[in-house]
Structure 1
Amino acid sequence: MRLWIFLLLCLPIATASAQGDIHRCMGANGIPVFTDRVCSDVNASPLLPPASTSSAPASPIQAQPPPVLCASDMAHLKQAVVDAFADRNPNRLAGLMLWNGDGQQAVVADIRVFSQLMARPLIGVTVEGEAASDDNTGDPSSNDAPAHGEALLVQTESDDGSGAAEQTRFDVIHHSGCLWLHPHN
């Protein structure tokens, strides 16, 4: 009886620690989804397969790496941002972000900002930095640092109705062979 009481008391602790994670999922429509719930709860599948508990060797099919779901160069990253705006989908834009080290509240706040940004018409997306001048994506071996000051500048119409343009800057970060965005602070 004491064991059951102990287990019931431990259940909220385990649940609370599991709820603090941000899960990267792929929605049924192929758009990345970020959620604090398990991917299956939002009709999505995890981007990373669960760790295998089997000690049996992997078959040749399982040994293949998962498909790359990130931008390999600046042109693809820029097009992915344009596509996210075309769909007016803040989760799609969030899928281009490197969230390492960001807490759940910061991620949710950024996605809300993306929603507000996408409510305005997109004027253009330009590249700033070394990639803009020579189309070089920098050193892909560098980790978690903006490469040579590269950034994407997203220009939208101002929300004050004046027709003026506003600019939002996203640093470009090279990590694990991919280009990621990070909001400029």
Structure 2
Amino acid sequence: MRSCSLLAILALICAAAFWPHDARAQRGVHRCEGMDGKPVFTDKRCEDVGAMDALPRAATPTAGNVGGSPLRGGCSRTLSDLVHQITAAIDNRDVNRLASVYQWAGASDEAANRILDRLQVIVDRPLLDIEPIRPAPPPITDDAGNIVDTNEDGYYPQTATLSRPTGLRVMQSLKNGSATASTTFGLRRSYGCFWISL
């Protein structure tokens, strides 16, 4: 009798250990970067709140995770995943990984070699930051359609409109460490995936 109750308690403990947990609670808080460049913290995906992951660092290599590459197939379906792939490629100085997120369609052999040389220069420099590049806000016009303000600062109107990034600016330090270099990648969307271009 006592062994049956002990067995029942043990079965309950095992069932509780394998009981599915709330996926949102497992994900925790995401650190994102908003349209204005300020940090945003949320329990949702960064893309769902009109932001992108704030420079996720690559995982340290393990036996099953060579070079910090996540064990998954496919391509970067979200902008945050693309930023992670770029970050991991630069952190691991892996030009092939950076080339794997490049939009190669239409590039000749000669152009591909030049692009690959440029990507090699990029992965050889330490990464400081990756910033989204957003389209300029539309100018402010009066009722007649005349431009009243070019709206270069994006200050007016006060209601923020969510604009998707059109590019990524990769900020890096040069070898001497005293100066920075900036590379701008264009963003392309193809077959449901994000790709970069120079």
- Number of residue pairs matched? 106
Structure 1 alignment gaps of length 5 or more: 1-28, 32-66, 138-148
For the Cα contact (< 8 Å) 2:91–2:126, is it kept in 1?
Answer: no
Provide TM-score, normalisation by structure 2.
Answer: 0.48
1:170 aligns with 2:185: yes
Q: Shift in Å at residue 68 of structure 1?
A: 5.0
Sort the Cα spacing of 1:117 and 1:74 in 2 relative to 1 into closer, same or farther, 3 A. same
Deviation >4 Å, runs of 4+: 133-137
1:115 equivalent to 2:120? Answer yes
Q: In structure 2, give the amino acid aligned to 1:165.
A: T
Equivalent residue for 1:80, pick from 81, 85, 91: 85
Q: Which residue of 2 aligns with 1:42?
A: none
Q: Deviations over 1:9-51 (max 9, x none)?
A: xxxxxxxxxxxxxxxxxxxx888xxxxxxxxxxxxxxxxxxxx
Q: Specify the code of the residue in structure 2 equivalent to 1:74.
A: L
What CA distance in whole angstroms lies between the structure 1 residues aligned with 2:66 and 2:187? 23
TM, length-normalised to structure 1 = 0.51
For structure 2, the 5+ residue unaligned runs are 1-64, 136-159
Distance 2:112 2:190 in 1: 19
> 2:187·2:195 contact (CA, 8 Å) conserved in 1?
yes
Q: Which structure's CA Rg is the greater one?
A: 2
Match of 1:56 in 2: none
Cα distance in 2, alignment partners of residues 69 and 108 from structure 1:
24
Q: In structure 2, do the counterparts of structure 1 residues 89 and 162 end up closer, same or farther at CA, with 3 Å as the change threshold?
A: closer
Q: Which residue of 2 aligns with 1:182?
A: 197
Structure-to-structure mapping, 1:9-158, within 5 angstroms:
68-129=73-134, 150-158=166-174
Relative to structure 1, is the Cα distance of residues 135 and 119 closer, same or farther in structure 2, using a 3 angstrom cutoff?
farther
Secondary structure of the residue aligned to 1:88 is: coil
Counterpart residue identity of residue 152, structure 1:
L
Q: CA RMSD in A?
A: 2.5
Give distance in 2, aligned partners of 1:109 and 1:134. 38
CA positional deviation for 1:158: 2.5
